[in-house]
Amino acid sequence: MKPQLLIISVLISALCTCSVKGQSPEENKKIIKRYLLEIINGRKLELLAEVFPEKFVRHDLNDSTDHWMTVEDQRGRLSGLFEAFPDFQYSISDIMADGDKVVVRAVWHGTQKSTFMGTESLGNRLNYLSEIIFYRLENGKIAERWVQLDLYNLFKQMKGQR
């Protein structure tokens, strides 16, 4: 009887270390790293459906809005970002995961070449813009994301102020 209890407790322990949908926190971190570093930095937008379900929720913490988005919506948003900042790149400063959630502290940089968020381009190089992003994953894909971007420094740098 004791070996059976040991096996059951090991199984329960293993199940508890995985998130609700079977992904471990480490697997979830790999998905987020792939999204930010391979898909975004590598401009591989054709791979978005591998990390997002057809519909997901984007929460913008700067203006407290929530939006249902599709993979095609995300492709459009990123295409607009790359048009405005052709050399846009993310760097991950910190990444932590617990269960089905992953949080990233990232910085990005790029040179503004066209209008972005209503601000005309002055050709300025933007550096070290902070972004905090929370992700919730479900079935190995990003089901929700919450974004807090340092808008103060974004607009300041777009205007050429340091």
Does residue 12 belong to any structural domain of this protein? no
DSSP state of 43: T
Which strand (E) or helix (H) includes residue 125? strand 125-138
Q: Is the pLDDT of residue 6 over 50?
A: no
Encode pLDDT of 50-97 as tens digits: 999 999 999 988 788 899 999 999 999 999 999 999 999 999 999 999
Does residue 3 belong to any structural domain of this protein? no
A 10 A CB-CB count for 24 gives 14
Encode pLDDT of 101-156 as tens digits: 999 999 999 999 999 999 999 999 999 999 999 999 999 999 999 999 999 999 99
Q: The domain that contains 110 carries what CATH number?
A: 3.10.450.50
Does residue 1 belong to any structural domain of this protein? no
Does residue 10 belong to any structural domain of this protein? no
Q: Is the pLDDT of residue 19 over 50?
A: no
The closest of 77, 75, 59 to 67, measured between CA atoms, is: 59
| pLDDT score at 25 | 96
Q: Is the pLDDT of residue 46 over 50?
A: yes
Does residue 48 belong to any structural domain of this protein? yes
Does residue 103 belong to any structural domain of this protein? yes
Does residue 5 belong to any structural domain of this protein? no
Amino acid at 122: L
Does residue 9 belong to any structural domain of this protein? no
Residue 39, domain extent: 19-158
Q: Is the pLDDT of residue 39 over 60?
A: yes
29: left (phi over 0), alpha (psi -120 to 50) or beta: alpha
Number of domains in the chain: 1
